[in-house]
């Protein structure tokens, strides 16, 4: 294996006495949270007061940023709990914080020597590798000649092996095959595919027993009933829960212009205000849907009864195969301000496109008792006339033949315009 340690001599003041190891980070605090104490220590140590300053402060658009006060909430959560759930606004800096924190856990002490860290990305495979590359790049500013062992899915930092996994089913199954891991961080865990979510939890949870792993799930909201939403609703969940609303970063990681611009975006409430709204479509915006809901409550039939003297229309969206059939009844009314309103006064959903029928009667009408339902897909090859006859009399199809309620084989008689029994 290629050595993770740099073998060189350098005049860099941070490395001149540490040419062959990373001991400069040993026993350093992650960050000094008191600003006055931090400023004093920074001057006294010439910028080597804490892990973040030795590594180089996080940057956004080329500008250095401190570790903000709200990030103390993250630090306390991951330090004091073995199972952590973090729902975050987009761009609040959680992913960058986690990479700094993991590197501190590795370099600040010997606790993770000869141990493993797993990073699992809830999005595409390239993002998993991006997180690993981003961690490696943390060292480029102040440690430009540092020679880290790294390849597509893994890297070694001092004596700790870091393995990254995309959220494919096969990759998540591979998580099971290791003997231990001390830290498992699942980034954008809400975006783990639904068919992988149960496998993910089954794969990572046992590490808390066999190697005392710390598990951190973090993500922006995705849609209701995803893995993050379920944990949030679970009152008996073992996970410590932390919500990072965008307001925590207002005036810090987010400037006022950025907030004003993003507030007009269709994903604002979900990605910034942490609301479980589902994905935004491209037909109706969330604002339009909310306005429709409010108008529906305002003009509900419980407040304005249906009139006998208004225009009405019925719309049908037929469902085929596994799809459902929708039926909606609309009414045209005038509001007090003489505004024209079209409101929904009734609606029905027929599951899986089934045709309900009545048992045949001697009167050949609807007086027969309800007999069940036909699967629409069974009869979709018939004409409207054939369907009408089948529906009204309860005929059925079997082995490409049609039968009446007495079991006689039926055929369509073009001359009479109806199905006739073949006797």
CA–CA dist 39, 37 (Å, integer): 6
pLDDT for 11? 45
Residue 378 pLDDT greater than 50, yes or no: no
In a domain, residue 7? The reply is no
Let me know whether 343 and 368 are in one domain.
no
Let me know whether 219 and 303 are in one domain.
no
Q: Which has more pLDDT, 367 or 67?
A: 67
| Domain enclosing residue 328, as ranges | 286-352
Q: How far is CA 399 from CA 9, 16, 77, 299, 376, in A?
A: 85, 86, 64, 51, 16
Let me know whether 209 and 80 are in one domain.
yes
CA–CA dist 318, 348 (Å, integer): 12
CA–CA dist 219, 98 (Å, integer): 12
In a domain, residue 398? The reply is yes
In a domain, residue 99? The reply is yes
pLDDT in tens, 35-51: 999 999 999 999 999 99
Let me know whether 329 and 191 are in one domain.
no
Let me know whether 295 and 346 are in one domain.
yes
| CB-based contacts of 190, cutoff 8 Å, min separation 6 | 122, 219, 220, 221, 222, 223, 226, 227, 228, 229
> Mean of the per-residue pLDDT values for the chain?
80
What's the mean pLDDT in 217-230? 90
pLDDT in tens, 403-420: 665 666 666 566 665 555
**Which of 352, 378, 395 is where one domain is finished?**
352
Let me know whether 108 and 233 are in one domain.
yes
pLDDT in tens, 156-199: 998 899 999 988 888 888 898 898 999 999 999 998 888 888 89
265, with CB counted inside 10 A (0-12, 13-18, 19+), is middle
3-state secondary structure of 252: coil
Let me know whether 239 and 110 are in one domain.
yes
How many structural domains compose the chain?
3
Let me know whether 96 and 211 are in one domain.
yes
Let me know whether 138 and 62 are in one domain.
yes
At 161, which CATH number? 3.40.50.300
Label each residue of 27-88 as H, E or C: CCCCCCCCHHHHHHHHHHCCCCCCHHHHHCCCEECCEECCCCCCHHHHHHHHHHCCEEEEEE
Q: How far is CA 393 from CA 14, 68, 140, 357, 381, in A?
A: 90, 74, 80, 8, 18
Q: Put the strands of the sheet holding 340-350 in their side by side order.
A: 312-317, 325-334, 340-350
Q: Which has more pLDDT, 144 or 369?
A: 144
100 pLDDT band (50/70/90 cuts)? very high
376 pLDDT band (50/70/90 cuts)? very low
pLDDT for 370? 44
């Amino acid at each position: 294996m290629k050595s993770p340690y740099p073998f060189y001599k350098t005049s860099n003041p941070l490395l001149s006495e540490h040419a062959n190891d990373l001991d400069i980070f040993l026993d350093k605090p992650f960050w000094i949270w008191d600003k006055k104490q931090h400023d004093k220590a920074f001057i006294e140590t010439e910028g080597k007061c804490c892990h973040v300053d030795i590594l180089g402060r996080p940057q956004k658009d080329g500008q250095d940023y401190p570790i903000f006060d709200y990030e103390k909430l993250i630090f306390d959560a991951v330090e004091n709990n073995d199972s952590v759930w973090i729902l975050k606004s987009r761009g609040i800096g959680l992913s960058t914080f986690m990479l700094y924190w993991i590197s501190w856990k590795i370099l600040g002490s010997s606790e993770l020597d000869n141990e493993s860290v797993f990073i699992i990305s809830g999005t595409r495979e390239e993002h998993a590798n991006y997180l690993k590359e981003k961690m490696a790049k943390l060292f480029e500013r102040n440690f430009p000649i540092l020679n880290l062992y790294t390849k597509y899915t893994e890297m070694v930092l001092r004596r700790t092996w870091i393995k990254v996994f995309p959220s494919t089913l096969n990759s998540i199954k591979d998580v099971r095959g290791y003997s231990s891991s001390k830290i498992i961080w699942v980034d954008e865990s809400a975006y783990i595919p639904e068919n992988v979510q149960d496998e993910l939890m089954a794969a990572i949870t046992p590490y808390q027993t066999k190697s005392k792993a710390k598990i951190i799930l973090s993500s922006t909201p995705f849609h209701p009933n995803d893995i993050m939403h379920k944990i949030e609703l679970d009152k008996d969940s073992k996970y410590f829960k932390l919500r990072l609303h965008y307001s925590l970063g207002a005036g810090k990681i987010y400037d006022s212009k950025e907030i004003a611009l993003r507030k007009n975006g269709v994903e604002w409430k979900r990605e910034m205000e942490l609301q479980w709204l589902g994905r935004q479509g491209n037909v109706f915006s969330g604002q339009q849907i909310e306005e429709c809901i409010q108008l529906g409550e305002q003009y509900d039939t419980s407040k304005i009864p249906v009139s006998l003297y208004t225009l009405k229309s019925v719309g049908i969206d037929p469902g085929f195969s596994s799809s459902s059939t929708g039926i909606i009844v609309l009414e045209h009314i005038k509001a007090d301000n003489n505004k024209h309103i079209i409101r929904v006064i009734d609606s029905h959903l027929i599951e899986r496109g089934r045709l309900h029928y009545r048992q045949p009667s001697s009167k050949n009408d609807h007086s027969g008792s309800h007999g069940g339902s036909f699967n629409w897909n069974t009869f979709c090859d018939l004409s409207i006339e054939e369907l009408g006859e089948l529906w009204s009399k309860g005929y059925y199809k079997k082995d490409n033949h049609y039968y009446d309620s007495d079991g006689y084989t039926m055929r369509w008689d073009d001359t009479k315009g109806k199905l006739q029994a073949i006797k």
